[in-house]
Structure 1
Amino acid sequence: MENKKTGSGSTALYNIEPIGIGTKSVESFTSYLMRTAYEHNITLGNLFNKLIIPQLKKGYLTRSSLYGGNRLYEGAKTINGFLENSYDLVKVMETLTGRNDLVNLTLFNLKEFIPVRNLLKESLSWCPKCISKWKRTREVLHYPLIWHIQPVTVCIEHKCLLESECSACNKKVDILRRESITGFCSNCFAPLDNSQLSEISDVELELQKFFLKNIEDLMTLNKLEILNGNYTCGLADSLSSIKENSFSGNLTRFSKFLNVPKTTLRYWINGVNKPPLESLLTICFKLNIKILDLLFEYDSLGVRIFQINDSLATNTKKIIRKPMDYSIVESKLVEILTNEVPISMSKSAEIVGHDRRVLYRNFNEYCKQISQRYSDFIKEKSSQRIDLLKTEINIAFNTLLTDGVYPSRRKMEQVINKSGLLKERVLQDYWKTLLTKNGFEE
């Protein structure tokens, strides 16, 4: 997929086309900001400081750009939402690029229906297989908006959990940083398609399929009808109708069925506040209804769900914690320590069948050894990767010199076929060393 750029003297930035507008895979606005910076061969920090922040005319951001500070970046998760900072940024970017559709890269159209609480993730999550596929097929690397939504934890296409920590440095990846590049860790600049994949259970996969289908329905609502007021949220009436028709007006039974406190449910029914998105999705999953019906079609909702099985509605079976057999757990941990390929403590906890915190509490030394072994393994893999890439850089450098072409960053990345490669600090320093050795001034 090629970026469309239009040369225009009236705009400060290229008119770069967003990815997937109007589809379930629409690109996030933070991803678009990163791509815009990269296409102009500047850092995201410079894009903000030189062009965006002066247009925003907000004193605290101006001071931050002049004297340093991370306030904008620390609050970056809300940029993909519908708060004032998101809307202001969208309008500035539309002015700078000459586009009029960037609001579709946020959740702005859901402002009246979904509360902001627990809506967006604090840090980045991604599917390594998606990023790997886009690299292989030479598509533009980007982060879909749906990856930022908190209840979404799975890539349905590849049936794997979305990753949330870089496999090279074991750190979470911030939504935005001054030198962020799509497809690379913002801490160590390692590629994110090298992450260790985590499998999911069939039960979790089915739940996530339901969640994603309903979130996609929300994200692709007819925007014009929303603006014209044709969608009127009737959530409180829907919940009240369900309580009356399916639980005989019994709030206690309804709250037990949903597994939410009775007071919380009463507030929802009375319209005092709105359930977070994950709670709405869970309600829909348990009642086997669509989220659009729960939000907007409350008049007929009660009739259609009236047949809820009474035994299901009163089912309050408690979760029984699995007792720990200390000798078996210890033997499993010892076995993990002797594995040829080290694994993380998170994966170890899955294999053992007990929570990681419980294992650390009861088998602290084993856990620390497993964690340290895995950390050393990752560092060694990272070191091997760097050595391999340095070899590729050296070959590309000499190839360009032989062809009489200046080995610029862009040319080097084109030859190696890895965009953003020389943004990684250690590799950038190696490239600069080669330039100096060959008499070039970078």
Structure 2
Amino acid sequence: MPTWKLFPIPMQGQSTVEVESLPSYLLRSAYAHGASGGVLLQVIHELGGCSQKTRPRCIAGKHGIATLARVNQFTRELRDRLAEFTGHDMSCEPLRFLDSQVYCISTEIGTFRWCPECLAEMARIDAPLYFKQLWHMTAVGHCPVHRVRLSECCEFCGSKQHSLKAKHPVGYCAECGEPLFNRRTPLSTKDIQPSWECPSHDVLEIFEKAARPGMTVSGWLEARSFIHSMAVSADHGRRNSHITGELRELLYECRRNWRDNCRLISLRRLAYLMNMSLYDLLTCSSTAYPLPYSAPELKSLPEHLRRRKKTVRNHKYVYQKLVLYLEGQQIPPSLKQAARFAQVSPGYLEYRFPSLVRRIVECYQAYRSQTALVNRYRAQAAALKFFTKERYADHIQSRKEAYRVLKEETGLPKWVLKNAIQTAYRVLQVGAG
């Protein structure tokens, strides 16, 4: 009888389009073992798991969840060790296929997102709640089953699911513990995407076909050979002379950058203009699609595939503009306020001007701390005056009345004022006793 080193928990949705993601399985296993995800990873390492060279420096927060959901040497070794320690298959065929066919597919994989309706159905039939690998794909914005937008944060506390502490089961908020499948406001018809609008249908098809058991796919060399042949025949002008414009440019771009920089978005554009599915483009061979290939006249790309123009900024001008703005402000602005004034994003400022951003954040935090301290002093002074000065003798000497009167007079934040009143009330009670 085999003895497993970890609980033999099976991965959900294996060999289907709804295959579970690795960080979801890690959290489910950690909760079952009564430990956090970080502790479970450490145990796996001590049992002879992943090598120290491939282990990331930090597996925490948003970046850590995304790292576990992606394809890298660490996750490959982790899947192998989990399969060895549990006796269950931990592979994810759609991810393996995309990694072998597309350059740098990890850039298309993000952190936890979920469909509340899918989780509600799992809970209704008492099935284990889990996050699907498909929900990590940035190209997928809506659930392919329920047509609703994928959620990114808890509707009750607003927190995103970036924690590996495993305080609550998967499917429940990592912070407040509320079910992620409960909605505060019911769905309306405008929240449901029409069935004819599916910008990610090509990615869904890859998950559907590549996940099938025993599915064999051709290597990326054959797809590259097909694209190369198309580009060469179009270049000669004798065959496929109809390949012009954006399709011709995409063929050259994919042929030139196939090994080093041919990303998923370029392949999606090419497949659309050639009237092929993305899966067929990546698995085609010269026997499946004999050349010359007659592509239809698709001259424009849909909105979700169009190229976005890069914004060209004068970095020196933006920096000088921000410095003048900061010097002219009596109250230190927050980073968001400074970015809004410069008409850029906070991420742009953090990338281009890290020292300036550090100064903005430090000044703003110091101002907030000083303001909070002044408010506490004002609240304490006002509370003591209410219970000791004659001008308030006509009022009922209660904490409720003190809050009502002082709220109108001072306008201080609610809990700052309430805490000061409570402190003053207790001190005066002790003095009177």
Q: Which TM-score bucket, shorter chain as reference?
A: 0.5 to 0.7
Pair 1:316–1:285, CA change in 2 (3 A): closer
Structure with max Cα Rg:
2
The CA deviation at 1:160 is 1.0
Is 1:290 matched with 2:277?
A: yes
Stretch moving more, 187-196 or 245-254? 245-254
CA contact (8 A) 1:214 1:290 kept: no
Q: Distance in 2 between matches of 1:126 and 1:55?
A: 33
Pair 1:33–1:63, CA change in 2 (3 A): closer
Q: Distance in 2 between matches of 1:33 and 1:251?
A: 53
Alignment-derived partner of residue 23 in structure 1: 16
Select 1:209's aligned residue among 168, 176, 201: 201
Pair 1:74–1:156, CA change in 2 (3 A): closer
Match of 2:19, SS? coil
Matched letter for residue 170 of structure 2: T
The CA deviation at 1:152 is 1.5
Relative to the length of structure 2, the TM-score reads 0.57
Pair 1:314–1:31, CA change in 2 (3 A): closer
Pair 1:93–1:256, CA change in 2 (3 A): same
The CA deviation at 1:177 is 4.8
Matched letter for residue 296 of structure 1: T
Q: Distance in 2 between matches of 1:46 and 1:314?
A: 51
Matched letter for residue 38 of structure 2: G
Select 1:140's aligned residue among 104, 116, 128: 128
- Segments of structure 1 that go 5 or more residues without pairing to the other structure are 1-7, 320-356, 362-442
Pair 1:187–1:259, CA change in 2 (3 A): farther
The CA deviation at 1:266 is 5.1
Matched letter for residue 275 of structure 2: N
Q: Distance in 1 between matches of 2:56 and 2:138?
A: 32
The CA deviation at 1:89 is 0.7
The CA deviation at 1:258 is 8.4
Deviations 1:162-207 (A, max 9, x none): 1122222334322745546311233443321135667355487333
Matched letter for residue 190 of structure 1: E
Alignment-derived partner of residue 78 in structure 2: 89
CA contact (8 A) 1:257 1:315 kept: no
Q: What is the CA RMSD across the aligned residues, in angstroms?
A: 4.4
Alignment-derived partner of residue 172 in structure 1: 160
Deviations 1:107-163 (A, max 9, x none): 234432122345443321110111111112211101122111221111121111111
CA contact (8 A) 1:124 1:175 kept: no
CA contact (8 A) 1:253 1:313 kept: no
Pair 1:202–1:279, CA change in 2 (3 A): farther
Match of 1:103, SS? coil
Q: Distance in 1 between matches of 2:176 and 2:248?
A: 43
Pair 1:258–1:25, CA change in 2 (3 A): farther
Q: Distance in 2 between matches of 1:152 and 1:134?
A: 21
Matched letter for residue 228 of structure 2: S
Is 1:41 matched with 2:34?
A: yes
CA contact (8 A) 2:93 2:210 kept: no
Alignment-derived partner of residue 260 in structure 2: 273
The CA deviation at 1:285 is 3.0
Please list, as runs of the form range in 1=range in 2, the aligned pairs for 1:120-159 lying within 5 A after superposition.
120-159=108-147
Deviations 1:232-261 (A, max 9, x none): 53232232344456787699975624886x
Q: Distance in 1 between matches of 2:252 and 2:168?
A: 43
CA contact (8 A) 1:28 1:144 kept: yes
Pair 1:117–1:291, CA change in 2 (3 A): closer
Alignment-derived partner of residue 331 in structure 2: none
Alignment-derived partner of residue 367 in structure 2: none
CA contact (8 A) 1:61 1:72 kept: no
CA contact (8 A) 2:66 2:109 kept: yes
Alignment-derived partner of residue 387 in structure 1: none
CA contact (8 A) 2:147 2:195 kept: no
Deviations 1:35-83 (A, max 9, x none): 222233333233223344552364589998xxxx646973332333331
Match of 2:157, SS? coil
- Segments of structure 2 that go 5 or more residues without pairing to the other structure are 308-338, 344-433
Matched letter for residue 203 of structure 2: F
Alignment-derived partner of residue 440 in structure 1: none
Deviations 1:250-307 (A, max 9, x none): 99975624886x9744523xx3435323432343233321233212324153647414
Match of 1:132, SS? helix
Is 1:308 matched with 2:296?
A: yes
Matched letter for residue 164 of structure 1: E
CA contact (8 A) 1:122 1:175 kept: no
Stretch moving more, 188-197 or 158-167? 188-197
Which structure 1 residue ranges, 4+ long, deviate > 6 Å from structure 2? Answer: 60-64, 250-253, 314-319
CA contact (8 A) 2:223 2:285 kept: yes
Stretch moving more, 245-254 or 21-30? 245-254
Relative to the length of structure 1, the TM-score reads 0.56
CA contact (8 A) 1:210 1:285 kept: no
Q: Distance in 2 between matches of 1:192 and 1:216?
A: 26
Alignment-derived partner of residue 256 in structure 1: 246
Alignment-derived partner of residue 66 in structure 2: 77
CA contact (8 A) 1:107 1:219 kept: no
How many pairs are equivalent? 306
